[in-house]
């Protein structure tokens, strides 16, 4: 037995016994979600007089900004994923449980999971976001999302399988479908993904597949607005556009997807592209939980006050992508980016410490540290608070920032070594089809059509 039964409280409800938590007189803080917000909160509470319970459906934290590099064979998945138990090993007040949260019950101060219910004194919801297909059901059935490690591995397998099939394909129509990759959404994820795909096409894959003519491989970046990186400065958009075109990426702005049936993408202007690979990077929405009052949800996110607290609940907080914190500069809510989540997690940790000490909480204020995106080797753009840069310096800055925010020393070293090797050799060494992606007519797509997540 891992935990002795006598350490369990006899007063706990029967279902709660399944969590096997030690008896304590300390207030219990339950954190749902171990993303940037939740994990940063917990790490800042290392010495707090709390029993902290982290609940997540995975046993690892994912560094989402680098998922695209896993999908394009630049990094191994374990370079951007860190086991919670390793990250939190030094915190004796933290207990991690793998569980799927089914519902929260704020009136009862409990969280319902697939293994049982758990009571709390304080609850923090940090479930992050999920892919938003904007009601396009057919697109959601066949397009590839990129929000988790399994999804990144699915995309990597599909891309490499397409090349293997193309070598033996004699049907011109099928060859065309295998030769077009469409990325929808020209935000940082879409731009960085297309930059990585462009480098694969021009410098890496021709050595693996000398029989294929890679001039007939087409990478399309589709954006409904009038420029790439629409949330960044016009200067950043201009340089990113130029860098992508230099990598032979076909950039199509002012385009909106009408439908996709797994074979043909149809645009609202009547254009069509035959492909079996559509990557959806066009938007996200909050990962809402059952039990959050409907009147506290707007634009798919939770309203919060200046303390990141759900209005009407003194002990319930929402941080990260799910929180819709409005300011004068951001009337529709803060951007759904990692820097916001990290700041909110850190700030809430300080406020909880103040509460435990009998003090008053301090209102949260967002500090904009800028935005950046890389478009391949020695090419990046950065909009900093007092400076806009592009090219090599912006690329070095992007590398440093991303290594700094990676969780764990091993991951920092692993990513640094991989990036150094790739830079010196123009090589991406993780081109393995470890888990073959299923045919579109198989179970994967039937489950997605039924509304099941593939995470």
Spatial contact of 189 and 64, defined as CB atoms under 8 Å apart: no
300: left (phi over 0), alpha (psi -120 to 50) or beta: left
Using only C-alpha atoms, the chain has a radius of gyration, in whole angstroms, of 23
192 in catalytic set: yes
- Which pair of structure tokens corresponds to residue 307? 């303390």
Q: Which of 16, 192, 199, 223 is catalytic?
A: 192
User: Using N-to-C axis directions, what is the helix angle for 234-246 and 188-199, rounded to 10°?
Assistant: 20
Number of neighbouring beta carbons within 10 Å of residue 46: 14
Using DSSP bridges, classify how beta strands 272-274 and 264-267 pair: parallel, antiparallel or unpaired: antiparallel
Distances (CA, A) of 166 to 242, 310, 431: 29, 52, 16
d(CA 386, CA 384): 6
Residues in contact with 12: Cβ distance below 8 Å, sequence separation at least 6, in sequence order: 21, 119
Distances (CA, A) of 238 to 232, 256, 283, 347: 10, 21, 21, 36
DSSP 178-202: HTEEEEE--SHHHHHHHHHHHHIII
Residue with tokens 């299923």: 438
Number of neighbouring beta carbons within 10 Å of residue 440: 15
DSSP 375-440: -STT-EEEEETTEEEESHHHHHHHHHHHHHHSSSHHHHHHHHHHHHHHHHHT-------SSPPPPT
d(CA 199, CA 427): 10
DSSP assigned state of 231 = T
Closest CA to 415 of 67, 11, 45: 67
Write out the catalytic residue numbers: 192
């Amino acid at each position: 037995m891992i935990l002795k039964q006598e350490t369990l409280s006899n007063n706990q409800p029967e279902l709660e016994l399944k969590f096997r938590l030690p008896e304590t007189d300390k207030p219990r803080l339950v954190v749902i979600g171990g993303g940037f917000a939740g994990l940063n909160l917990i790490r800042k509470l290392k010495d707090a007089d709390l029993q902290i319970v982290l609940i997540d459906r995975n046993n690892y934290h994912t560094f989402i900004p680098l998922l695209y590099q896993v999908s394009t064979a630049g990094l191994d998945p374990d370079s951007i994923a860190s086991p919670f138990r390793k990250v939190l090993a030094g915190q004796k007040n933290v207990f991690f449980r793998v569980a799927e949260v089914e519902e929260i019950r704020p009136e009862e101060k409990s969280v319902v999971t697939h293994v049982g219910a758990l009571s709390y004194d304080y609850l923090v919801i940090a479930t992050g976001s999920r892919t938003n297909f904007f009601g396009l059901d057919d697109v959601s059935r066949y397009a590839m999302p990129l929000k988790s490690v399994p999804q990144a591995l699915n995309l990597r397998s599909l891309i490499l399988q397409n090349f293997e099939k193309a070598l033996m394909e004699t049907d011109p129509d099928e060859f065309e479908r295998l030769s077009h990759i469409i990325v929808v959404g020209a935000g940082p994820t879409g731009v960085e993904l297309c930059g990585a795909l462009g480098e694969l096409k021009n410098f890496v894959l021709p050595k693996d597949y000398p029989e294929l003519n890679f001039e007939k491989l087409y990478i399309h970046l589709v954006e409904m607005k009038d420029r790439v990186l629409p949330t960044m400065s016009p200067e950043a958009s201009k340089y990113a556009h130029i860098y992508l075109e230099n990598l032979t990426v076909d950039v199509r702005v002012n385009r909106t997807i009408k439908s996709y049936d797994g074979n043909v993408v149809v645009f609202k202007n009547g254009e069509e592209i035959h492909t079996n690979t559509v990557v959806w990077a066009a938007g996200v929405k909050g990962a809402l939980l059952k039990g959050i009052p409907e009147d506290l949800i707007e634009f798919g996110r939770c309203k919060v006050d200046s303390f990141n607290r759900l209005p009407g609940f003194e002990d319930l907080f929402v941080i990260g992508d799910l929180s819709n914190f409005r300011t004068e500069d951001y009337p529709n809510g803060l951007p759904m980016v990692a820097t916001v989540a990290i700041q909110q997690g850190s700030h809430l940790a300080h406020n909880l410490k103040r509460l435990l000490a009998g003090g008053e909480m301090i209102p949260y204020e967002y500090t904009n540290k800028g935005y950046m995106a890389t478009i391949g080797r020695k090419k990046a753009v950065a909009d900093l608070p007092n400076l806009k840069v592009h090219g090599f310096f912006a690329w070095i800055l992007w590398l440093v920032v991303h290594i700094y925010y990676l969780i764990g020393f091993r991951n920092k070293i692993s990513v640094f070594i991989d990036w150094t090797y790739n830079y010196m050799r123009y090589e991406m060494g993780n081109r393995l089809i470890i888990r073959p992606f299923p045919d579109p007519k198989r179970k994967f797509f039937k489950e997605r059509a039924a509304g099941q997540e593939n995470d």
